[in-house]
Amino acid sequence: MIVFDHVTITYAGAPTPTLTDVDLHIPEGEMALVMGRTGSGKSTLLRAVNGLVPHFSGGTLRGRVVVDGRDTATHRPRDLADVVGFVGQDPLAGFVTDNVEDELAYGMESLGISPATMRKRVEETLDLLGLADLRGRPLTHLSGGQQQRVAIGAVLTTHPRVLVLDEPTSALDPLGAEDVLATLQRLVHDLGITVLLAEHRLERVVQYVDRIIHVPGNGSPVESGLPADILARTPIAPPVVQLGRVAGWSPLPLTVRDARRRSVTLREQLADVQPPAHRASTLGDDVAVVRDLVAGYPRRPVLRGITATVKAGEIVALMGRNGSGKSTLLRTVVGLHKPTSGRVVADDVGLVPQVPADLLYAATVADECAMADRDAGVDGGTTRKLLDRLAPGIPDDQHPRDLSEGQKLSVALAIVLASEPRLLLLDEPTRGLDYVAKHQLVEMLHQLADAGHGVVFATHDVELVAEVASRVVVLADGEIVADGAAPDVVVSSPAFAPQVAKVMAPQPWLTVHDVATALGQA
Amino acid sequence: MRPHHLITYPRTLHPGAWWLWAIGLAAAASRTTNPVPLLLIMAVTWFVVSARRGDTPWASSYALFFRLAMLVIVIHLVFQTLLSGNTQGTTVMFTLPEIPLPDSTGIQLGGPVTLEGLLTALYVALQLAAIFCCIGAANALGSARQLLRYVPAALYEIGVACIIALTFAPQLATDARRVRDAARLRGGSRGRIRRFGRLAMPMLEGALERSVALAAAMDSRGYGRTTVSDPRQRRLTSALVVTGMVGVCLGIYGILNGTASSWMGLPALAVGCLLGVAGLVVGGKRTGRTRYRPDPWALPELLVVASGLTAAVLTFWQVRVDPTTLVLASVSDVPPVPMLACAGILVGLLPAFVAPPLPLPPPSRRERDLEVAA
């Protein structure tokens, strides 16, 4: 269905090709995952499928990309609209109309499909994606998961044979993500659509895919193969696979179910070992006290009476579905949002916003650091030193916008830390981060907690919580519904349990690292 | 009879009908500075909007335009007070300290403020405010965005540009808020100008990235695919449409101005319309776009448009019969009531009854369950 024939793509002005000699064949009806580090060329590969690269982006493409018999050299993206449905990273950025029904019809209107057919297909698509109740709603009023489903529906109405999605679940909570992935799987099974998607959160998608295309970046060849074969070799892998490697299972398990069936002996082996507690080693004084906090809009409170305390040395994970009030809580604590009633006592607070790039204005990293020194009123070079400790080796003369997502986060973090806040807040820090950058983030957060900072981060990433949190607070509908040590809160929860906990239940193991250490001891 | 022709059958009215109705009222407002019909027009728009407004995001735009109208009046009065001079009237209300400026500027700051001057300013501002209310009503009842769906195929590109612009503005506001918050997090440079300089960069970059993303999305969803690129036909279309537009503009100017030479009025409008329609017909052939669930144009639409037109026609007629009731000879007298114009404007109230009621949103699942249980 999709054929890449010795494709090399070089963007204008780039010294080296982004993708080199890619030779791929994806048969009809497959669901294929493109994985790789940020900046390795995943998006370029996806965008080449419908001709956005090079028709829209510029650059040169050597070789041939053929989709359903149409060569992208002679077909522009619009000529492939009835064959390839393309859903970009941010669904809201791609919406052309303002309500669900019109958005679903837009592509068909462009193709000149007859009104009767359009009417029928819109109804079918509304049912297929479970959007019937939302048909007249404005797109901006929908939740992230609903928007993503509308974006998928909007390209499905033209009956494409191929669906291409760029990180469809990165902004979604675990259940919203499952919803979208289940929808995709249904399309593959029922309609025989070929799906190609890129995703950083392998643990969410690996179980659904038939093929993995690994784009290692840095000029190494692109590999394509069965998930088990590819994951056996790659440095990045979801926790179940890592657990399989640690326990020496072969073939490697890809789903929690597989792993659980294999893990009987492992669980027996570890039955008498006490899992690590995931608690803060040293607790200091209170860095933030929130009492009976109500905040939000006049007649629609988002937070309904929150009471909590954060101590120095703690790393608190704030979880809950989209719209449960996580961001509002962080913004209120830092003072961007005025509480309606209640009390917030938090003096030195720094917040890294959801889009860290918002904090960056200067033309070079060096300017940025100097500006942060001046803003914070500290000695020159402080920010640069912090940055070197967090992420060494970022050149001074680089433009902040050209950094990778992980590097941007490091710079933003260094800027916030320059004024030495005792409490550090992070709003969804892992959006767009690959495994390596996430690993760096975990290290950084541990460092900060050990240095006596209190850390609170809002996230949907259950694996990150398992790695780093010493305490988990779950928000629902503006109230705290759970607050306790990480193992106590996440292990029993169907939505928030990390993969290792699901495999090892009822024993409260959270990370592969814990299991590996325990096996080393045993 | 098809249900669309019933004025009781719940559905949304064609946005074009609302705009034509509002244009009719605005045209009526443009011919008078008498506060009686002007206030009547504002009342009519308010009444119709409150009777037929939906729960769409743009439905609240009437309040916005109304506030804008009030602002226009205030600004007008303030400037009249400050820059009045003593050109109008004799009834001095109070005297502001005068700031002498050289005679050559022709401007006088301060000085005596007369009742006549203030009333003239108020009435002129009221005219503008009434027109604002008409636009606000049109926007609240049938949003500009909905209207753009009906842009003829020949003008499709312009329509798309408008859609992107309409998406862009609210997005820019969201971006601005986000970036400003981020700036507050960083603290530092207190100066407003420097701060603005720092904020403009990330905002513009964000806006640019968003536009490119939208363009890519539209392209990959087939936008512009069916357009036949025959350059001769395209040029013919553009020429016809542009000449037609010029004709229409001249015609409208001629009609509304009333003092221009006679060929500029109706004849220019008619020729312009003809050319424009010809252009749209020629151009309409070239795109193979189809339209999803277009709103029908039926009896209620005709009635709504007719009511707006009646307001305009009767006011124009009043100009013929008795112009002094519309443009007051002496502003300080109690304004007379122009019977014809007022009757016409009151006809403009009809859409509150003849436009079909809006359908209620479908009941949520819980309500449906309750109904079943009952």
Say if the Cβ atoms of B225 and A86 lie within 8 Å: no
Is B42 part of any domain?
yes
CA dihedral A398, A404, A409, A410 (to 10 degrees): -60
- What is A83-146 written as a DSSP string? TEEEE-S-HHHH--SSBHHHHHHHHHHHHT--HHHHHHHHHHHHHHTT-GGGTTSBGGGS-HHH
Task: Say what the pLDDT of residue B263 is.
Answer: 66
The answer to whether residue A112 neighbours chain B at the CB level (below 8 Å) is yes
- Check whether residue B97 and residue B64 sit in a common domain: yes
DSSP string, A7-28: EEEE-TT-SS-SEEEEEEEE-T
Substitution target in A55, A84, A110 with the highest count of B β-carbons within 10 Å is A110
Please check whether residues B119 and B147 belong to one and the same domain.
Answer: yes
Query: Which residues have CB under 8 Å from B278's CB, separation 6+?
Result: B240, B244
Give the total number of structural domains in chain B.
Answer: 2
Q: Catalogue all structural domains in chain A, each as residue range(s) with its CATH number.
A: 2-234 (3.40.50.300), 286-521 (3.40.50.300)
Q: What is the pLDDT of residues A213-232, one digit of tens each?
A: 999 877 788 999 999 889 88
pLDDT confidence of residue B84: 65
Indicate if B144 and B62 belong to the same structural domain: yes
Structure tokens, A232: 């056996």
Residues B235, B351 share a domain: no
Residue B24 located in a structural domain: yes
Chain B touched by A402 (CB under 8 Å) = no
Instruction: Say whether A288 sits in a helix, a strand or coil.
Output: strand
Among A104, A358, A367, A368, the strongest candidate for a mutation testing the B interface, having the largest count of B CBs within 10 A, is A358
- Minimal C-alpha gap between A114 and chain B (Å): 6
A163 contacts A195 by C-beta, under 8 angstroms: yes
3-class DSSP assignment, residue A505: coil
Q: Residue A82: which residues within 8 A CB-CB, separation 6 or more?
A: A111, A158, A159, A160, B222
Within 10 angstroms of residue B259's Cβ, the number of other Cβ atoms is 5
Instruction: Assess A338–B contact: CB distance below 8 Å, yes or no.
Output: no
Q: Is residue B118 part of a domain?
A: yes
- CA–CA separation, B63 vs B74, rounded Å? 17
Q: pLDDT means per 10 residues in chain B (374 residues)? A: 86 91 93 92 95 81 91 91 71 80 74 84 93 92 80 72 73 78 71 68 78 85 70 79 86 72 75 85 70 88 95 90 83 86 94 89 58 53
Instruction: Determine the Cα–Cα distance for residues B156 and B142; give it in Å rounded to an integer.
Output: 19
Cβ distance A353 to B182 less than 8 Å, yes or no, reads yes
For residue A78, list chain B residues with Cβ-Cβ distance below 8 A.
219-225
- Are A359 and B181 contacting, i.e. CB atoms less than 8 angstroms apart? no
Closest approach of chain A CAs to the CA of B204, in angstroms?
A: 11
Q: How far does A391 lie from chain B, in Å, by closest CA?
A: 20
Choosing from B286, B311, B333, the residue where a domain stops is: B286
**Is residue B349 in some structural domain?**
yes
**Cα–Cα distances in angstroms (integers) from residue A209 to residues A149, A195, A455, B108, B129, in the given order:** 19, 9, 36, 79, 61
| Residue A111 to residue B225, Cβ atoms within 8 A | yes
CB contact under 8 A, B186 and A375: yes
Q: Are the beta carbons of B178 and A371 separated by less than 8 Å? A: no
Cis-peptide into A251, omega within 30 deg: yes
Cβ contact, residue pair A80, B214, below 8 Å: no
Closest of B350, B341, B369 to residue B30, by C-alpha: B341
Record: contact B181-A353, CB cut-off 8 A? yes
Q: Are residues B279 and B302 in the same domain?
A: no
Q: What is the pLDDT of residue A393?
A: 79
CB contact under 8 A, A357 and B290: no
How close, in Å, is residue A253 to chain B by CA atoms?
37
Query: A93 to chain B, minimum CA–CA distance in Å?
Result: 6
The interface predicted TM-score (ipTM) is: 0.83
* Residue A158 to residue B365, Cβ atoms within 8 A: no
pLDDT recorded at residue B236? 82
Sign of CA dihedral A343, A345, A348, A354: negative
Determine the Cα–Cα distance for residues B40 and B45; give it in Å rounded to an integer: 9
Those residues whose C-beta lies under 8 Å from the C-beta of residue A158, and which sit 6 or more positions away, are A81, A82, A85, A107, A108, A111, A113, B221, B222
SS (H, E, C) A375-432: HHCCCCCHHHHHHHHHCCCCCCCCCHHHCCHHHHHHHHHHHHHHCCCCEEEEECCCCC
Residues from chain A that touch B56, judged by Cβ atoms under 8 A, are 138
Do B280 and B303 lie in one domain? The reply is no
CA atoms within 13 A on the CB side of B254: 17
SS3 A249: coil
* Contact list, A76 vs chain B (CB under 8 Å): 219
- In whole angstroms, what is the distance from residue A81 CA to residue B223 CA? 9
| A4 φψ region: left (φ > 0), alpha (ψ -120 to 50), beta (else) | beta
Tokens coding A20: 């080199």
- B293/A105 CB distance under 8 A: yes
Q: What is residue A214's predicted lDDT score, i.e. its pLDDT?
A: 93
Residues B268 and B314 occupy one common structural domain: no
Q: Which of A48-52, A285-289, A373-377, B342-346 has the lowest mean pLDDT?
A: A373-377
Contact between chains at A50 and B293 (C-beta distance less than 8 A):
no
Nearest to B290 among A80, A88, A112 (CB): A112
Q: Chain B partners of A415 at a C-beta cutoff of 8 Å?
A: 186
Residue predicted with more confidence, B252 or A467: A467
Do residues A80 and A2 make contact, with C-beta atoms less than 8 angstroms apart?
no
> Residue A508: what are its φ and ψ, rounded to 5°?
-80, 60
- CB-CB neighbors (< 8 A) of B218 in chain A: 96
User: Which residues make Cβ contacts (< 8 Å) with residue A398, sequence separation at least 6?
Assistant: A364, A365
More confident residue, A366 or B183: A366
Same domain for B282 and B234?
yes
Instruction: Check CB contact of A508 with chain B, cutoff 8 Å.
Output: no
Cα nearest neighbour of B289 on chain A: A112
Residue B373 located in a structural domain: no
Instruction: Report residue A251 as tokens.
Output: 């073939």
Which of A112, A122, A336 is facing B184, going by the closest CB pair? A336
* Cα gap A213→A38, rounded to integer Å: 15
**A298 contacts chain B (CB < 8 A):** no
Domain end: B254, B286, B318, which one? B286
Contacts of A98 in chain B (CB under 8 A): 57, 145, 167
Q: Look at residue A195 and tell me whether its pLDDT is greater than 80.
A: yes
Greater model confidence, A404 or A152: A152
What digits encode the pLDDT tens for the residues A272-291? 888 888 877 778 888 999 99
- Considering the domain architecture, whether residues B357 and B306 belong to the same structural domain is answered as yes
State the pLDDT at residue A6.
93
pLDDT at A475: 93
pLDDT given for residue B349 in this prediction: 94
Pairing of strands A162-166, A194-198: parallel
Compute the average pLDDT of residues A55-60: 88
- Look at residue B50 and tell me if it is in a domain: yes
Same domain for B279 and B345? no
Name the residue range of residue B280's domain: 230-286
CB contact under 8 A, B219 and A78: yes
pLDDT score of A171 more than 80:
no
The CA-based angle A447-A411-A429, given to 5 degrees, is 65
> Smallest CA–CA separation between B237 and chain A, in Å?
20
Largest Cα span, chain B: 83
Kindly report whether the peptide bond that precedes residue A54 is cis, defined as omega within 30 degrees of 0: yes
> Is B172 contained in some domain?
no
Nearest Cβ partner for B293 among A107, A119, A415: A119
- Alpha carbons B42 and B133: distance in angstroms, whole number: 6
The answer on B97 and B123 residing in a single domain is yes
CA distance B113 to chain A (A): 44
Contact residues, A window 44-63, toward B, CB-based 8 Å cutoff: 50, 52, 55-56
> Does residue B133 share a domain with residue B19?
yes
Q: Compare all CA atoms of chain B with the CA of A154 and give the residue at the minimum distance.
A: B221
> Vertex A145, ends A141 and A147: CA angle to 5°?
50
Name which of B11, B221, B227, B358 to mutate to probe chain A: the one with the most chain A Cβ atoms within 10 A of its Cβ: B221
Closest Cβ–Cβ partner in B215, B292, B361 for A105: B292
**CB interface of A with B, residues 156-175, below 8 Å:** 158
pLDDT one-digit tens code per residue, A4-32: 999 999 988 888 888 999 999 999 999 99
Taking CB atoms and an 8 Å cutoff, what residues of chain B touch A154?
221
Instruction: Decide if A122 touches B, using CB distance below 8 A.
Output: yes
Residue among A278, A484, A491 nearest A499 (CA): A491
Residue in chain B closest to A90 (alpha carbons) equals B213
- Asked if B134 and B28 count as a contact pair (C-beta separation under 8 A), the reply is no
3-state secondary structure chain B: CCHHHCCCCCCCCCHHHHHHHHHHHHHHHHCCCCHHHHHHHHHHHHHHHHHHCCCCHHHHHHHHHHHHHHHHHHHHHHHHHHHCCCCCCCCEEEEEEEECCCHHHCCCEEEEEEHHHHHHHHHHHHHHHHHHHHHHHHHHHCCHHHHHCCCCHHHHHHHHHHHHHHHHHHHHHHHHHHHHHHHHHHCCCCCHHHHHHHHHHHHHHHHHHHHHHHHHHHHHCCCCCCCCCCHHHHHHHHHHHHHHHHHHHHHHHHHHHCCCCHHHCHHHHHHHHHHHHHHHHHHHCCCCCCCCCCCCCCHHHHHHHHHHHHHHHHHHHHHHHCHHHCCCCCCCCCCCCCHHHHHHHHHCCCHHHHCCCCCCCCCCHHHHHHHHHC
Chains A–B, number of C-beta pairs less than 8 Å apart: 149
Residue B169 lies in a domain: no
Task: Tell me whether residues A77 and B220 touch, CB distance under 8 A.
Answer: yes
Instruction: Using CA coordinates, name the residue in chain B closest to A105.
Output: B292
